[in-house]
Amino acid sequence: MLSTDAELVEGWQHGDQAAASALVHRHAPALARYIRSRGVASADIEDFVQEVFIKAFRGLGDWRGEHEGSMRGWLFRIAANHLKDAFRRSGRVREVDLNDDDRIDPTDPQTALEARETAKMLAERLDLLSPMQHEVFRLRVEDGLAYREIAVALETTAGAARVHYHNAVQRLLEVLE
C-alpha cells in the first residue's frame, strides 16, 4: 500500500531520504505541467520544480497535512508564488516560450496548425474569465487538481472552488456560442 503524503513527510522529517524522493516523484510531474503551462521555458522546468520543492521542504512546518490532497495544493501554491517572484525579477508579466512548437507534432503540420489555432482561441476565451475563475478552471481541467487541492492552492474552500469552476464553464460556453 502506498504511503500517504503525511506519512512520507513524517518519514523525511525523521531523515528518511527515500520518503523525500517519493514525494518528489509523486508530485513533480504535475508541478512541471503547471509551470510549463504558465509560461516557463522548457529548459528551466526542472530547476524551477526543484526550487519549489526546496522551498516546500524548508517550510514543512507550515504544511497542514490534516487531509490528503493538501500537499499537492500546497505545492501548487508555492509554485504560483515562485512564478510571480520569477516573472517580477525578470521584469516580465509572463515569460513566454517562443519555441511553443516543441509541444506539437512537427511531422503533422496540418494537425499542428489546428492545434495551435485551437490553443490560441482557448487562451483568448480563458482571458475573459475573472482571475479566480481562470485559475480554478485551469487547475481543474489542465492540471487535474481536485477541488480540495485547488482550495489549498488558492487559499479558498473546496465549495468556493467548485462554484468558481462551474461559473467559469458557464461563461466559456456563453462566449463560445
Minimum CB separation of residue 4 from other proteins in Å reads 18
Minimum CB separation of residue 165 from other proteins in Å reads 8
Distance CA 12, CA 18 (A): 8
Q: How far is CA 11 from CA 1, 30, 60, 101, 170, in A?
A: 16, 22, 12, 41, 44
Q: Which of 53, 76 has the CB closer to other proteins?
A: 53
6 interacts with other proteins by CB under 8 A:
no
**Cβ atoms of 72 and 30 closer than 8 Å:** yes
Number of residues that bind other proteins (CB under 8 A): 47
Q: Which of 128, 141 has the CB closer to other proteins?
A: 141
Q: How far is CA 146 from CA 36, 124, 157, in A?
A: 19, 24, 12
76 interacts with other proteins by CB under 8 A:
no
Minimum CB separation of residue 91 from other proteins in Å reads 25
**Cβ atoms of 72 and 8 closer than 8 Å:** no
DSSP letters along 99-124, please?
Answer: -GGGGS-TT-HHHHHHHHHHHHHHHH
Pick from 80, 92, 175: nearest CA to 131: 80
Binding test (CB under 8 A) with other proteins, winner from 128, 130, 142, 159: 142
Q: Which of 25, 89 has the CB closer to other proteins?
A: 25
- Tell me the residue type at 161: A
**Cβ atoms of 85 and 28 closer than 8 Å:** no
124 interacts with other proteins by CB under 8 A:
no
128 interacts with other proteins by CB under 8 A:
no
Enumerate binding residues for other proteins (CB under 8 A): 12-13, 15, 17, 20-21, 24-25, 28-29, 32-33, 36-37, 42, 45-46, 49-50, 53-54, 57-62, 103-104, 115, 118-119, 122, 126, 137-138, 140-142, 144, 162, 166, 169-170, 172-173, 176
